Amino acid sequence: MTADLVYLVAGASLLLAIVLPSILGRLPLTSPMVLVGLGMLLGLTPLPDDLPLSPQDNRAAIEHITELTVLIALMGVGLALDRPLDPRQKSSRRAWSPTWRLLGIAMPLSIAGVALLGWWAGLAPAVAILLGAVLAPTDPVLASDVQVAGPATTTVIGEDVDDCAPIDEDDEVRFALTAEAGLNDGLAFPFVYLAVLVAGGGALGAGALEWVGWYLLGKTVIGVLVGVAVGHVLARVAFRAVSPALRIAERGEPLLAVAALAASYGAAEALGGYGFLAVFACAMTFRASERRHDYHRAMHEVVERLERLLTLFVLLVLGIALTRGLLENLDWRGVAIGLGLILVVRPVAGFLALSVRPVPPGERGGLTRTERGTAAFFGVRGVGSLFYLAYAAGEVEAFGQPWLWSTVGFTVVASVLVHGVLVGPVMGLLDRRERVTTG
């Protein structure tokens, strides 16, 4: 893409990032739907033929752009969650019960379901496993319409709220989907590595032990510990440093969020851990320090703006690619797998996971039957899937085949459309029921 077109697309993305939220406020549309549609229209115009849209030729660029977008989204999600997490307390573990169920039950079932669909469609085992791992995570980027709004820090003017009352989430569906999106993008990595090992013939015997011991457990633990350590150190400096010059929170400098993101991700990757998990753990740990400080809100606003800009750019380019050859290799198998995941596999897996000995409704972590169905259905697929496929294609040449790109691209766009059309009415209905219940 020429420099002129880069500036044009970047400028259009920035303008749209500013005006779309207010324009779409009362319309049955979401920003991702509009951006993909605009991109498709741009793709039909006489653009230069040498635009770098081919996934095979521009794999590295796609990997790094989508990686950065997901990282920024993960930092925003971690800062936005108000519900404390203390694994030592049973009440805290129960309050996070929907998240653990979606991660520990629904996600493996979704991976297995997609892999079985792929095997039924005639895919090689490694490719089927990869497709399941790529399409399984709920995306932290495109799921903003079903996520919590942002960090609550101080008492809202005009409301009778006790300043000493604990800050917590009051929307169980949005909390479950937000926390799931923050964690499962990192937890999909072990299954991507499993596909890589299977492709190399090393997933049996000693290879299986290596996968469980290192890729599933070791790298996960390292990522979480590094994120917690970095978040703790930065929070201690920002809020309680001896030198006033180091107490960044008092100055309200929000770019510390970007520094924390880079530091936690870099440290975790350097030590062999999962950087995505480190970024989310860092944001959660930082959020747990001085929970009522307005500095969290300032940091979240900066991250949110960066995320919005990058997301719009990615979706515009995705829309252009759709009408300029990305779907050329899509066949009935890709359509069946994509729609099967969105309409059957994820909803069934999510509902089963949330229905096994659930926390009673009314308690923290408790969901009604309708709320369980909603949380199960709205597993939005998005930018994270594009990143994982680009990453895997760099590890195994066979994973870069055009059919996989067409299938993943179709699934992402189908998710944007299906979930985008339904999110307003469904979440609005839940909100109205909640208002009636609370009187």
Q: Tell me the C-alpha distance between 54 and 301, whole Å.
A: 34
What is the structure's pLDDT at 49?
Answer: 65
350, 375 contact by CB (below 8 A):
yes
In 3-state terms, what secondary structure has residue 94?
A: helix
Averaged pLDDT, 184-200: 91
- From the number of C-beta atoms within 10 Å of its C-beta (0-12, 13-18, 19+), residue 371 rates as buried
Task: Name which of 329, 339, 318, 438 is nearest 386 in CA terms.
Answer: 318
What is the structure's pLDDT at 90?
Answer: 86
Reply yes or no on whether the pLDDT at 245 is more than 70. yes
Chain Cα centroid distance, residue 312: 15
Averaged pLDDT, 203-225: 87
Q: Tell me the C-alpha distance between 1 and 117, whole Å.
A: 37
What is the structure's pLDDT at 167?
Answer: 63
What is the structure's pLDDT at 437?
Answer: 62
What is the structure's pLDDT at 72?
Answer: 94
Q: What is the pTM of this model?
A: 0.91
Write out the two tokens for 403: 């059919």
* Confidence category of residue 317, pLDDT binned at 50, 70, 90: confident
409, 327 contact by CB (below 8 A):
yes
For residue range 112-142, list pLDDT tens digits in order: 999 999 999 999 999 999 999 999 888 877 6
What is the structure's pLDDT at 422?
Answer: 87
Task: Name which of 432, 167, 185 is nearest 288 in CA terms.
Answer: 167
For residue range 17-58, list pLDDT tens digits in order: 677 767 766 666 777 888 888 888 888 877 666 666 788 788
What is the structure's pLDDT at 154?
Answer: 59
Any idea which of 52-56, 156-160, 324-328, 412-416 has the lowest mean pLDDT? 156-160
For residue range 358-396, list pLDDT tens digits in order: 888 878 888 989 999 999 999 888 899 999 999 999 999
